């Protein structure tokens, strides 16, 4: 599924803008699907007007990079073992339960089974809010999903915690075909398809739940070339820092891609008279918050670490992390600093074996020295 520019009337959308490449021909309008199963096709991402799975499938991104509410039906899961590239396609999409994975699920604005319909085109629901399925002679639901049904699905990442425990189809096979509204980040791919990552909240039914407004995301300084950073002996609080290891390597940013995670690449650096001259793209911004510091990379993405044991690298997202997003900074006697995740207990260290920066629970790597941006 390709991210498609949406050319839809601003009266109908009110919040989507034209996206095109300078050298690409103008794309034809994308037809908006009608209301299916009672779900409106267009929303704004608020808890009252969540986006639909159709919008998420198109690559909808909140203009301010915030998490959005998205509504649809839980229709299956992704069997990553069925595809060598671990991505969603006709081989890996599964619409039956129990699921073989707790860390993901599939959602859609329509159902893979034949359902009783109301006159207005919505699904008939029972007293528990579940669709009333048509049954075959053996009393089984009639699967109508064809080999291309996965193209109408979005992938949903289920981070460890309450969201995963309550939604996954391994422990909760009864969730199949229930309508749910989830909150997470959209506009990037998970398992090779557009969907919702970093799912942090959910509510059964067509709307999310009201949440107290979050602290606004602080602005990021613009990217500037040729900036001087000076080595510090003590952590000097909020600001932009270069993380340097063994006096010749610095932590660069993970290049933007379809993935919102990765090890920090180690780049060669020259230190002269305790100073480094480089682009602020290589700097990490420390913001003071209750309990420690939030860290953002040169692209403005939050750097955090979650509790999912299958995740071995940093999570890098435009929205704040759902867990493990606060770091402490402690000076060491040898001039290095321990940058430790307060919740997860891992600290940033350079691996000479892999030539990158990860986070470890023990002292298996090299701690950084810090160079702060000059005013």
Express each pLDDT in 99-142 by its tens digit. 999 999 999 999 999 999 888 778 888 887 788 999 999 999 99
- Angstrom distances, CA of residue 328 to CA of 32, 82, 217, 238, 286: 47, 41, 19, 12, 10
Contact between residue 250 and residue 266 where contact means Cβ atoms under 8 Å apart: yes
Q: Name the residue with higher pLDDT: 160 or 226.
A: 226
pLDDT of residue 257: 72
Residue 155 sits at φ, ψ, to 5 deg, of -90, 145
Which structure tokens are listed for 128? 């528990």
Task: Evaluate whether 58 touches 42 at the Cβ level (below 8 Å).
Answer: no
Q: Is 90 exceeded by the pLDDT of residue 328?
A: yes
Over 90: is that where the pLDDT of 321 sits? no
User: Would you state the pLDDT for residue 199?
Assistant: 92
Which candidate, 51, 330, 44, places its Cα nearest to that of 194?
51
Instruction: Report the pLDDT value the prediction gives residue 260, as an integer from 0 to 100.
Output: 77
* CA pair distance 181, 74, nearest whole angstrom: 10
pLDDT one-digit tens code per residue, 281-318: 999 999 999 999 999 999 999 999 988 776 789 999 88
Q: Mean pLDDT, to the nearest integer, of 217-242?
A: 94
The residue count of the chain comes to: 375
Report the CATH fold assignment for 227-373. Answer: Trefoil (Acidic Fibroblast Growth Factor, subunit A) (2.80.10)
* 246-272 average pLDDT score: 91
Average pLDDT over the chain, rounded to an integer: 87
Q: What's residue 369's pLDDT?
A: 98
Instruction: Summarize the confidence of residues 339-358 as an average pLDDT.
Output: 97
Please state the pTM of the whole predicted model.
Answer: 0.61
Distance CA 192, CA 104 (A): 13
Distance of alpha carbon 24 from its chain centroid, rounded? 28
pLDDT in the model for residue 319: 80
Which has more pLDDT, 263 or 2? 263
DSSP string, 240-275: EEEEEETTTEEE-PPPPSS-SEEPEEEEE---BTTE
Q: Coil, helix or strand for 353?
A: coil
Q: How do beta strands 261-262 and 314-317 pair?
A: antiparallel
pLDDT tens for residues 33-89?
655 555 667 899 999 999 999 999 999 988 877 889 999 999 999 998 998 888 999
Ranges of each domain in the chain: 10-204, 227-373
């Amino acid at each position: 599924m390709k991210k498609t520019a949406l050319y839809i009337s601003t009266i109908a959308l009110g919040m989507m803008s034209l996206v095109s490449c300078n050298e690409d021909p103008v794309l034809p309008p994308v037809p908006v699907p009608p209301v299916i199963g009672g779900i409106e096709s267009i929303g704004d991402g608020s808890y009252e007007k969540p986006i639909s799975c159709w919008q998420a499938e198109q690559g909808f991104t909140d203009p301010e990079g915030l998490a959005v509410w998205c509504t649809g039906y839980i229709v299956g899961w992704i069997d990553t073992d069925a595809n060598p590239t671990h991505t969603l396609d006709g081989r890996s999409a599964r619409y039956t339960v129990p699921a073989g994975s707790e860390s993901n699920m599939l959602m859609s604005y329509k159902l893979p089974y034949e359902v009783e319909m109301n006159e207005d085109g919505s699904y008939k629901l029972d007293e528990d809010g579940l669709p009333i399925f048509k049954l075959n002679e053996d009393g089984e639901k009639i699967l109508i999903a064809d080999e291309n049904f996965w193209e109408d699905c979005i992938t949903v990442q289920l981070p460890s915690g309450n969201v995963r425990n309550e939604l996954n189809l391994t422990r909760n096979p009864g969730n199949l075909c229930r309508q749910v509204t989830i909150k997470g980040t959209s506009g990037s791919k998970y398992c090779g398809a557009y969907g919702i990552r970093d799912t942090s909240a959910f509510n059964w039914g067509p709307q999310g739940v009201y949440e107290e407004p979050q602290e606004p995301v602080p602005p990021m300084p613009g990217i500037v070339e040729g900036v001087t950073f000076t080595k510090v002996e003590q952590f000097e609080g909020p600001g932009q820092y270069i993380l340097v290891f063994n006096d010749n390597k610095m932590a660069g940013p993970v290049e933007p891609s379809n993935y919102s995670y990765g090890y920090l690449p180690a780049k060669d650096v020259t230190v002269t008279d305790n100073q480094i001259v480089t682009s602020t793209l290589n700097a990490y911004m420390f913001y003071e918050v209750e309990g420690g510091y939030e860290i953002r990379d040169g692209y403005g993405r939050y750097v955090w670490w979650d509790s999912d044991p299958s995740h071995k690298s940093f999570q890098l997202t435009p929205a704040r992390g759902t867990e493990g997003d606060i770091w402490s900074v402690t000076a060491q006697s040898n001039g290095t600093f321990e940058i430790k995740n307060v919740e997860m207990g891992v600290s940033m260290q350079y691996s000479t074996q892999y030539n990158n920066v990860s986070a470890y629970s023990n002292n298996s790597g090299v701690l950084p020295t810090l160079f702060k941006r000059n005013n």
